[in-house]
Structure 1
Amino acid sequence: MTNRRDFLKTAAAATTAGVAGAATLAAPAVKAQSKIKWRLQTYAGPALAEHVIKPSIDAFNKVANGEMEIELYFADQLVPTGELFRAMQRGTIDAVQSDDDSIAAPVDISVFGGYFPFATRYSLDVPVLFNQYGLKEIWEEAYGEVEGVTWLSAGAWDPCHFATVDPINKLDDLKGKRVFTFPTAGKFLSRFGVVPVTLPWEDIEVAVQTGELDGIAWSGITEDYTVGWADVTNYFLTNNISGAWCGSYFANSERWEELPEHLKELFKLCMDSSHYYRQHWYWGGEAKLRVDGTKMQLTTIADEEWAKVEAEAEKFWDEIAAQTPRTKKVIDIFKKYAADMKKAGKPYRYS
């Protein structure tokens, strides 16, 4: 009888354990997933970021449906712009929106980021050069040689014009002018007597007011109005040294590879959304503010004199082409593209 009771107890315990085990095996495995969080810093200050990136990041966070959240930081908010690349490599920040030139990317093609003199005439030139003329593959190759950072996508921003305190009506008026601009644009403009000045983005308006700067060659007229520079400058030069700023998105490679494929695709779609928004925001804004803007008077350097700047750009291109085989490849593409657009005629090129 004792043995029978012991047997029944053991059998009952085994049955209970078996049922529990079966239930455990039948239930799907549930692994607690914490929300993925990224910190992304843009080159732009708050007012400008409202247009050049924030709408797309807001959309990403909404559609990611709680799986991922990108925290957006503005110019110099976490680290100075010139240190963004290294910070991204170290994982201090997860992603960056800027141009290669400003963040001191350690690649030979960084010289082409931002405003490379006369490489583009219109904003649509940038996506065509990347997607139809081979720049995308060159950028992927170059950043593939750098540890820790993945280049994701390039797009166009506004053209590069001078906004100045005093009027610019001829090339000689540029001599001695202290101007906030991008590194490569500054090197080129120094050939005409411009003194390039590097300052934190948020200090520019005050620097113009105090006389530390005579002007800005960092944007088109849309940004001048948006960020407040039109309030401290009096004149806008309609000649530009580039038809569109070339900027990119980058990410820390490890963090990018950790993302599931559907979140990678979502981020790519949001980058494209950002690129598209800027196309019409800048294109319409540049025209509207030239026509209806009341804060800056328009000035123009005569075509025959401005041709000297374009001729100097050709020399500058050849100097950059001599730096590495890859920079030569990019310059060759620029020359081929410029020739094709000239042959295509209006509306692709008017001269």
Structure 2
Amino acid sequence: MKHLITTAALAMAAATPALSETWTMTSTWPSSLELIEIDKHWVDLANKLVDDDKLTIEFYDGGSLVPAGEVFGAVESGTIQAGADWPGYWAGRNSAFSPLSTTASLFNAVDYVNWIQEWGGADLYNEVYGQFGMVYLPYGVTNNESGFRTVSQPIRTLDDLQGLRLRLSGLEQGKLLEKLGGNQVSMAGGEIYQSLERGVIDGAEFSTPNVDFSGGFQQVTQYWSTPGWHQSSSVFGVMINKGSWDALDEETQERLKIAADATMLWSLSFTERRATEAYAQFQEAGTEITRLDDEALERVQQLANETITEVACENPMSAKVYASQLTYLQEYSTWRDASAPFNLGRTPNGPDLAAIQACAE
């Protein structure tokens, strides 16, 4: 009798479904900035792909749970299970986060997709985030950022950068701007509008045209200098607490990865379409739009290469990431250049690979 009861109990336990996991997720982006649409797209797709009895992700707009700068710590500590971000915000913790988020005059959006998917980039995200007890799924990519928007002083040449106080994110980006005579001012995206309006800064960069327009920058700036040489592309994704990730079964983990891959492709086409629409909106708003000439961009490239090498060689992990990216560019250049003019972007004359590889050892 005792054996029958034990057998029945085991059978009931085996038939009982595991309790569903519920994750709390927030973002570094407030609801007013269009970048949050990438986060929402991944959450919606993940919730559709994953069975309800396995996992449900509850998403909260940036700032509603913790300030943007505290999202990293909240995920690391397990206070929340997931947080959407732009990796460059954490470069103060490890400078390797910088090339995981963007590059100065190096990668375009397709380069990041290629590198992440097929040239080992995904493993490096997890190696760096793994040092902080997190798993990372890159799921968003945008092409080069708008450039600089200024209140009353247009930037038509590099000389026009002299002495300007410009809001700018990024470790390498700030050092590069200083070499060009400008001054980096760091602040959260939600503070840019008021800082421009009050004259705290002379100008700012933030994101792609559509995101900038959603931030209302056309209301407080008159001039727009393109292209976005400081951030030739950007990557976004989700930080996941390692303990929370490990609690999922392999099938659920795989479905979250599939949602990330699908969202990345969607994000590129979505933001390029929206950037095109926003470009016209800035024109209609009366913004003067100018482009730096090729000679100026070549000068920027030279200084960017110098800056990347300096920063990479201060941290072996940063050098490892850059060396991987430069190896990809070198290998891909054979086919990319051979298929011009129908290729996917340029092969930049970037930093010396051997010099950076030496710093990674």
2:357 counterpart residue number: none
1:171 paired with 2:158, answer yes
* Equivalent residues of 2:165, 2:201 under 8 A apart: yes
1:182-205 residue CA offsets vs partner (Å, 9 max, x unmatched): 132223222223222222332221
2:303 counterpart residue number: 312
SS at match of 1:78: coil
1:277-319 residue CA offsets vs partner (Å, 9 max, x unmatched): 2110122233343346422321122221232111101101211
Aligned length: 333
1:7 counterpart residue number: none
2:356 counterpart residue number: none
1:325 paired with 2:316, answer yes
1:42 counterpart residue number: 27
1:194 counterpart residue number: 182
Q: Which runs of 5+ in 1 are unaligned?
A: 1-16
1:150 paired with 2:144, answer no
Q: Distance in 2 between matches of 1:151 and 1:23?
A: 42
The 1:257–1:268 alpha-carbon spacing in structure 2 relative to 1, beyond 3 Å, is same
* Equivalent residues of 1:221, 1:290 under 8 A apart: yes
Q: Distance in 2 between matches of 1:182 and 1:315?
A: 18
2:205 counterpart residue number: 217
* Equivalent residues of 1:155, 1:248 under 8 A apart: yes
Q: 1:343 aligns with which of 302, 315, 337?
A: 337
1:244 counterpart residue number: 233
* Equivalent residues of 1:82, 1:104 under 8 A apart: no
How far off is 1:227 after superposition? 2.9
My pick for the range that moved more, 341-350 or 96-105, is 341-350
1:129-179 residue CA offsets vs partner (Å, 9 max, x unmatched): 2223332233333334x1421223364224222122232111122223222
* Equivalent residues of 1:76, 1:200 under 8 A apart: no
* Equivalent residues of 1:42, 1:49 under 8 A apart: no
- Residue 254 of structure 2 aligns to which amino acid in structure 1? E
Q: Distance in 1 between matches of 2:92 and 2:83?
A: 12
- Residue 12 of structure 2 aligns to which amino acid in structure 1? P
The 1:147–1:214 alpha-carbon spacing in structure 2 relative to 1, beyond 3 Å, is closer
1:50-77 residue CA offsets vs partner (Å, 9 max, x unmatched): 5211122123234445332222233333
Percent of aligned positions with the same letter in both sequences?
23
Q: Distance in 1 between matches of 2:65 and 2:263?
A: 22
Q: Distance in 1 between matches of 2:49 and 2:117?
A: 27
* Equivalent residues of 2:101, 2:234 under 8 A apart: yes
Q: Distance in 2 between matches of 1:113 and 1:207?
A: 28
How far off is 1:337 after superposition? 4.0
* Equivalent residues of 1:151, 1:250 under 8 A apart: yes
1:77-124 residue CA offsets vs partner (Å, 9 max, x unmatched): 33333333222111112112212220347444112133321121x311
Q: Distance in 1 between matches of 2:10 and 2:188?
A: 60
The 1:350–1:286 alpha-carbon spacing in structure 2 relative to 1, beyond 3 Å, is farther
After superposition, residues 14-25 of structure 1 pair within 5 angstroms as: 21=5, 24=8
- Residue 287 of structure 1 aligns to which amino acid in structure 2? T
Q: Distance in 1 between matches of 2:104 and 2:85?
A: 18
1:9 counterpart residue number: none
* Equivalent residues of 1:290, 1:298 under 8 A apart: no
1:92 paired with 2:92, answer no
- Residue 318 of structure 2 aligns to which amino acid in structure 1? T
2:271 counterpart residue number: 282
Point out the structure with max Rg over C-alpha: 1
2:90 counterpart residue number: 103
How far off is 1:260 after superposition? 2.1
- Residue 143 of structure 1 aligns to which amino acid in structure 2? Y
SS at match of 2:206: strand
After superposition, residues 228-243 of structure 1 pair within 5 angstroms as: 228-241=216-229, 242-243=231-232
Q: Distance in 1 between matches of 2:129 and 2:318?
A: 14
For normalisation by structure 1, the TM-score amounts to: 0.83
The 1:39–1:298 alpha-carbon spacing in structure 2 relative to 1, beyond 3 Å, is same
* Equivalent residues of 1:177, 1:195 under 8 A apart: yes
